[in-house]
Structure formats: C-alpha cells, structure tokens
Structure 1
Amino acid sequence: MSRTTEFEELRPLLFAIAYRILGSVSEAEDAVQETWLRYETSSTTPVSTKAFLSAVVTRISIDVLRSARSRREQYVGQWFPEPLVTDPYEDPARAAELADSVSTAALLLLERLSPLERAVFVLREVFGFGFPEVAAAVGRSEAACRQLAVRARRHMDAGRPRFEADRRGREELAARFFDALREGDVASLRELLAADVQMVGDSGGKAPQWGRGIFGADKVARVLTSTMPWFAQIGGSVEQEELNGQPGAIFRDRDGKVLSALTLDVLDGQIHAIRAVLNPDKLRHVGPVADGWAVYREAQQARRATD
C-alpha cells in the first residue's frame, strides 16, 4: 500500500483528533496537511502508520493551540468553536464518546484544559489510545500522561454537559422549535425553552449579534420571533441541520450565502442553550459567506417601512 493511500485512509481520524484539540475546522485541516507533508518527506517507515500519524498531528495541534491561546484571550466577545457540519470519522465502538466530544458545549469545556491535558484527554478518553501511544504522541512519560488524564477527566466530569439521550426526541423538538420560529409563534417557542435558557452569539466583532447574550425564556422567545419576520421578508432562509452532533440550523441570505450557524442544547425535553456562530471567518468552510451587516441593515429598513 502506498503512503498516499495509507494517509488518505487515516485522514478522517487525523482530522477528528485535530478538530477536538483545536476547535477549528480550518486549523485542523492545516494540521492534517502539515502531517502529510512531514510523512511524505520522512525517510523512516513506522511500525504503525496510525500511531505515527496520530502522534504527528497531535504534536502539530498542540503547537497550534498554544499559539492560538493568546489570540483567543484577545478575541472580541464570546469565543465558540467553528461549526462542524460532518464528522468524517466513525467508529461504532466509540460512537458515544465521539458524539459527546464534538458538541459545542464539550469543546468549550475542553478550552479550560491546558494544551497537554486536552491532547491526552482526546487521545485517551475519546479515541481510546493506550497510554504508551499517548505518551509517544505528546512527548511525556506514561506516568505523566496518566496524571494529565486524571486531571483532565476531573475537570471534564465536573462540568460535563448533559444532553437528551434520545436522538429522535432531540430532532423532533428541534423541528418544532424551527417551525415555531418561522411562524413567529411566541407561545409555542416559550414552551420549548427552559426557564433559564441562554442565547449567545460569537461574532468576533465582525457581524451583528445580541450584545452579551439574551437570557430567560420570555426574552429569548420574543427576540427570536421579532427578528424572523423581517429576515424572511428580505429572502432569508433557515435550513435545519445537525451541527457538532447537535440539532441546529444554518441561516442564509436570499442568495444562499451563509449568515450564521446555530446549535441547540436539548435536555429533558427543553432547550437550555442556543449558540450561534456569526463570525464570517468561522463560516467559510460551510459555504460562501454573506455580509451580515448588509443583511441587518436591509432587515431594519424593511421593518421601518412597515412601522
């Protein structure tokens, strides 16, 4: 088997590792490409190609994350991971771990870990690598990796997000939510929202959003239903989509360009969090990106015309 063929077979796994460490589709893709360049020019033949490439992409991702941390500390407003439309890696034996680890809430929780803790947690807890492989990947002893894993697991367990276990139930609730949103049905929306629901956006200062967030079922329902009629009037559309393993939607302008990607945290038959990525820099991998400010101004003009 050629190196190219071996690498392409492992590409989904390598991307999945890098994305969970970095929380960025674009950075994960770059890390995978850099892994290929290093593999292509390497003169050694590894005993296990999977272990070798996983180690290389992990080290690259750790380096990228360390430099990204300073940028994220200076980020304007709330930082969310880039939305993932499709996770290319599948492993039925670890389906639950893979699904949980890619959710927006879990990725935000991973942000609290150090780069080494995050890498060890991802390799060990999510993908099931043995400690010898983890140690080789992060350049630490097995004993040190066990300690890192314990600390990471403790942090993750303390704040681990809970989601509706019934996948079909989540999808049905999301469908009702988006139907009520399109229809501007405040009462129906309010019934689907937890009393302490929060709606927060990540625009990076490059698109309009709801300040620091909207909190409470009444406020969230009213803000959403007051916005949607004008969005629909100027040709905007809402496409229900699974994002980061969660129910969500992609909002597009009249030309089909992407305005935002929204995910819903569902638990006990209610929506507890609504998170929207509006930063155009984080949406380019989804498709051509709209000018959020232009759409906002057009919607405001349509609203004033009917006042």
Structure 2
Amino acid sequence: MGKAEDFARLRPLLFSIAYRILGSVGEAEDAVQEAWLRYEASTTQPASTKSFLCAVVTRISIDVLRSARMRREEYVGPWFPEPLLADPYEDPARAAELADSVSTAALLLLERLSPLERAVFVLREVFDFGFPEVASAVGRSEDACRQLAVRARRHMNAGRPRFEADRRARDELAHRFFQALREGDVLGLQQLLAADVSMVGDGGGKAPQLARAIRGADKVARLLGTVFPALAGIGLTTEPHDINGQPGAIVRDWDGKVVQTLALDVLDGRIQSIRLVLNPQKLGHVGPVADPWEVSRVFRESRRAQP
C-alpha cells in the first residue's frame, strides 16, 4: 500500500484527533494537510504509519492551539467550537462515547486544559492510545504523560457533561422541540425545557447576537416561540441535523445559505442548554454563508411592517 492510500485510510482518525484538540474544523483540516505534506516529504518509512501520523498531527495541533488561545482570550462574547456536522472517524463499539467527546459541552470543558493536557487527554481517554504512543506524540516522557493525564482527567471529571443515554428518547425530544419551534408553541416549548435552561449565542462580533445568555424555561420558550415563526415568515428554514454528535439544526436563509447552527444538550427528558453559532467565520464548512446583518435588517423591517 502506497503513502497516499495509507494516509487516506488514517485521515478520518487524524481529523478527529485534531478537531478535538483545536475545536476548529478549518484548523483541523489544515493540521491534517500539513501532516500529509510532512509524511509525503519523509524519506524513511516509519515502523508504524498510524503512530507516526498521529504524532505529527498532534504536535501540529498543539502548536496551533497555543497560538489560538490568545485570540480566544480577545474574542468578542462567548466562544464556541466550530460546529461539526459529522465525525468522520467511526467506531460502532464506541459510537456514543465518541459522540459525547465531540459535543460542544465537552469541547468547552477541554478549553480549560493546557494544550499538552488537552492533547494527552484526547489521545489517552478518547482514542485509547497507550502511554508509549502518547509520549511519542507529545514529546514527553511516559511518566510526565501519566501526570498530565491525571490532571486532565481530574479537571474533566469535575465538570464532565452528561447527556441523555437513550438516543431514541433524545431524538424524539428534539423532534418535538423543532415541531413546537416551527409552530411557535410557547407552552409546548416550556414543557420540553429544563427549568434552568440556558440559551447562549456565539457571534464573535461578526453577527447580531444575544446581548447576554437567556436563562429559564419561560424566557427561553417565549423568545424562541416568537422569533422563529417570524424568521420563517421571511423565508428562513430550520433544518434538523446533528451538531457535534447532539441534536441540533442548521438555519438557512431564503437562498438556502447558512445563517446559524443550533445545538441542544438533552438530559433527564429535558433540554438543558441551547447553543447558537452565528459567527459567519465559523460556518463556511457547513455551506455558503448568509450575510447575518442583511438577515437581521430584513427581519427588523418585517417586524415593523406588521400591524
């Protein structure tokens, strides 16, 4: 098997590692491409192509994350990872675990770790790499990696997100939620939301966004039940789609361009949080992106025109 075939076989795994370290689809794709260039240029065949490529993409991702952390500290408003529509790495035996590890909530928790801790946690806890492989990938001793793993696990366990274990029940709840959303059924929405539900938007200063988090079933239901039918009135559509392994949707404008994504965290038969990604710079991989300011202008004008 040639280099190109080897790389193509491992590409889903490489992307999945890079995305969990970086929280960015574009940066993860760039890291994978850089790993390919380094592999293609190498003159020796590694003993294990998988170990070599995973180590390369991990080190690239750590370097990128270190430079990205300062940008995130200066980010306008809440920062969310770029929405992932589908994880290319599949392992049927661990599908639920892998989906939870790529959830928005889990990725936000990973943001609390140092780049090295994050990389070690992803390789060891998510992808079950042995410590010799982890040590080789991050350029540290096995003992140092064990210590990094302990610290990372402690941080993650302290705030580890929980999700509805029954996928069918979770998806049924999401179906009812989007049906109530389309109908503007405020009471129906209230019954599906946890009492302390929160709704937060990431616009990054590049799109109109919520001035602050909206909390409480009554406030969130009233806002959603008012705004989404009005958005439908100007031609926007809400297309249910898994976002980061959890129920969600893509909102498109009258030309089918992406306005935002919406992701739900579901637990104990209720929606616990709703996260909106509105920053157009984070949506390009989903499809052609709408002008959020134009959508906002048309929406405001339609509201003013109502009797």
> SS of 1:128's equivalent?
coil
Deviations 1:190-213 (Å, cap 9, x if unpaired)? 000111000000000111111121
- Aligned counterpart, 1:230: 230
In the other structure, the counterpart of 2:87 is: 87
TM-score (norm 2): 0.99
Q: Structure 1 residue 33: deviation in Å?
A: 0.2
Q: Which residue of 2 aligns with 1:280?
A: 280
Alignment gaps of 5+ in structure 2: none
Query: Which residue number corresponds to residue 258 of structure 1?
Result: 258
Count of matched residue positions in the alignment of Structure 1 and Structure 2: 307
- The CA deviation at 1:95 is 2.5
Matched, 1:112 2:112: yes
The corresponding residue for 2:245 is 245
Report the AA paired with residue 291 of structure 1: D
Distance 1:272 1:95 in 2: 22
**Residues of 2 paired with 1:261 and 1:268: CA distance?**
23
Residue aligned with 1:251, SS: strand
Contact 1:94 1:126 (8 Å CA) reproduced: no
> Partner letter of residue 81 of structure 2?
P
**Aligned-pair distance for 1:97?**
2.8
Cα distance per residue 1:204-255 (max 9 Å; x no partner): 0111111121111111011111112221111100000011000000000000
CA distance in 1, matches of 2:34, 2:175: 40
2:201–2:209 contact (8 Å) kept in structure 1: yes
Q: Secondary structure of the residue that 2:87 maps to in structure 1?
A: coil
Q: Give 4+ residue runs of structure 1 displaced > 4 Å after superposition.
A: none
The separation in 2 between residues aligned to 1:207 and 1:96, in whole angstroms, is 33
Q: Which residue of 2 aligns with 1:267?
A: 267
Moved more, 8-17 or 219-228: 219-228
Instruction: Give the conservation status (yes or no) of the 8 Å contact 1:94–1:127.
Output: no
Q: Compare 94-103 and 246-255 and name the one that shifted more.
A: 94-103
Kept in 1, the 8 Å contact 2:181–2:229? The answer is no
C-alpha distance in 2, partners of 1:19/1:60?
12
Q: How is 1:37-52 mapped onto 2 (pairs within 5 angstroms)? A: 37-52=37-52
Deviates more, 1:107-116 or 1:92-101: 92-101
Displacement of 1:94 in angstroms is 2.9
TM-score by length of 1: 0.99
Cα distance per residue 1:22-61 (max 9 Å; x no partner): 0000000000000000000011210000000000000000
Counterpart Cα distance in 2 of 1:229 and 1:287? 23
Corresponding residue of 2:205: 205
Cα drift, residue 92 of structure 1: 2.5
Structure 2 residue identity aligned to 1:283: L
Query: Residue 305 of structure 1 aligns with which residue?
Result: 305
Distance in 2 between the 1:148 and 1:168 partners?
Answer: 36
Match of 2:23 in 1: 23
Letter in 2 for 1:285: H
User: Which secondary structure state, in structure 1, belongs to the residue aligned with residue 242 of structure 2?
Assistant: strand
CA RMSD in angstroms comes to: 0.7
Name the aligned partner's letter for residue 46 of structure 2: P
What amino acid sits opposite 2:44 in the alignment? Answer: T
Match of 2:185 in 1: 185
SS at match of 1:44: coil
How far residue 299 of structure 1 moved from its aligned partner, in angstroms, is 1.1
CA positional deviation for 1:159: 0.1
Find the counterpart in structure 1 of residue 172 from structure 2.
Answer: 172
Alignment-mate amino acid for residue 7 of structure 1: F
Residues 177 and 192, structure 2, Cα contact 8 Å, conserved in 1: yes
Identical columns (%): 75
